[in-house]
Amino acid sequence: MSDRFREEQDSMGTVRVPRDALYGAQTQRAVHNFPVSGLRADPALIRAYGHIKRAAAVAHREGGQLSTEVADAIVQAADEVIEGRWNDQFVVDVFQAGAGTSFNMNANEVIANRAAEILGGAGGAYDRVHPNDHVNRSQSTNDTFPTALHLAALDRLVALLPILEALAAALEEKGREFHPLLKAGRTHLQDATPIRLGQEFRAYGAAIRRSISLLQSAGEELNDLAIGGSAVGTGVNTPDGYRERMIRELAGLTGLPLRSAPDLREAMQSRQAVGAMSAALRGLALELIRIANDLRLLSSGPATGLAEIRLPAVQPGSSIMPAKVNPVLAECLNMVGFQIVGNDTAVALAVQAGQLELNVMMPLMAHNLLQSFSILINFLPVFTENCVKGIAADPDRLQGYAHRTAALGTVLNPVTGYLRAAELIKESLATGKDIRTLVLEKKILSEAELDALLDPARLTGEA
């Protein structure tokens, strides 16, 4: 046997494991069996498992199922996992055995081996602290993985919400800054009645705030945990009071309003709450895509497009066209949004794939859901600071479009009737004369009457 490896025994036989690894035989089998993507678990999922294993050790110490010595060593090892100290020891691919058994055992083995070291033992010798008998006591992958998935998603939601609040606030601030600026509205990408540029931006902020509300509603459902259900939701092999102690400990560790699921069978059969959170992220992504597309359109040009606003220039836009600047941050936001929509499709397919007492597709859900959170958390602060806050308006361009839009003829409906107003609009388009000029030339209204009719406060509903 090489000095680089040690031999471990599991229920299937002997496995060679890297000598210095904190993981063990079952993790090593998973590394061999699932060389799929090279992707590893999100740190939020690792932290969540650390919380679960720590809480279980405390619950069993209080219940008398673990000695104080062993429980305390597990607690210390789990705390190190929560701190991220051993993230490099979580080596199972995100595409793995169904239900996440490989990942659960990766956590059990890392914590067991580290706890053994704390007690003065060596890695791979499980006589003091055993991955299954001690670290995984009263647990199953079937209740720990859905619990960890909920905890990890809630952890990421807590991180995302203030970022979204900052984005909404930045859009609303632009709404206040741009309030005086009248512009041509557009529906079907065709001229429509005027609107304020500030109203457009305030509406973007309102859309983000609606997404925040929907995410919070989805997060409320994730507070229901499957822990204590054990293998099929019946709580087999769990001692009295264990579930209650677990919920209490997890709530204390995370600061979240956690509770036991009303029906532990449902909590293991169904991943409906995860699907709802993924759908809420998809809804947010769709709004972000829409807003990014609007910003790209409104800033198109600068000489041959709408060019009503200018996005901050953050990098050269072309390797061949000098001085070209592209809306790269909005483009990146589009791609982030597309990825989230794709992730949600994968989550949706996994959510519907549950069978009888368990949905085994949870590792796929975890990877896609947590990736959606991560790319938003990573990029939205950049988009807010380096794009939204630096947006500038072109008042002359806005005013020119607002005065030239033939849709201003709409306000003549009460004066001339729909058909006569339509004739004026057609004449405006054919001659290039704006509506104001035509109305005065034809003496339909006096200048004072027309000024009152075209008052921006009347046109936009706001002074």
Distance CA 233, CA 356 (A): 11
Residue 362 is inside which H or E element, if any?
helix 362-386
Return d(Cα 42, Cα 367) in angstroms, integer: 7
Find how far residue 204's CA is from the centre of its chain: 18
Instruction: Say if residues 123 and 21 touch (Cβ distance below 8 Å).
Output: yes
296, HSE (Cβ side, Cα atoms, 13 Å): 15
Computed on alpha carbons and rounded to an integer, the radius of gyration of the chain in Å comes to 30
Q: Which of 230, 318, 374, 446 is catalytic?
A: 318
CA distances from 303 to 182, 295, 308, 310, 434 (A): 21, 16, 11, 12, 22
| Residue 267 to residue 225: CA distance in whole angstroms | 7
Distance CA 245, CA 266 (A): 21
Query: In degrees, to the nearest 5, what angle opens at C-alpha 126 toward C-alphas 122 and 131?
Result: 120
What are residue 15's DSSP bridge partners? Answer: 8
Taking phi first (over 0 means left), then psi (-120 to 50 degrees means alpha), and beta for anything else, what does residue 233 get? left
Tell me whether strands 13-18 and 182-187 are parallel, antiparallel or unpaired. unpaired
318 is catalytic: yes
Using alpha carbons only, what angle is made at residue 127 by residues 123 and 129, rounded to the nearest 5 degrees? 70
Rounded Cα gap, residues 323 and 436, in angstroms: 39
Q: Which distant-in-sequence residues (6+ apart) come within 8 Å of 7 by Cβ? A: 1, 14, 15, 16, 17, 124
User: Rounded distance, CA 31 to CA 97, Å?
Assistant: 11
In three-state secondary structure terms, 252 is: helix
Which two three-digit tokens encode residue 454?
């075209």
What residues act catalytically?
A: 318
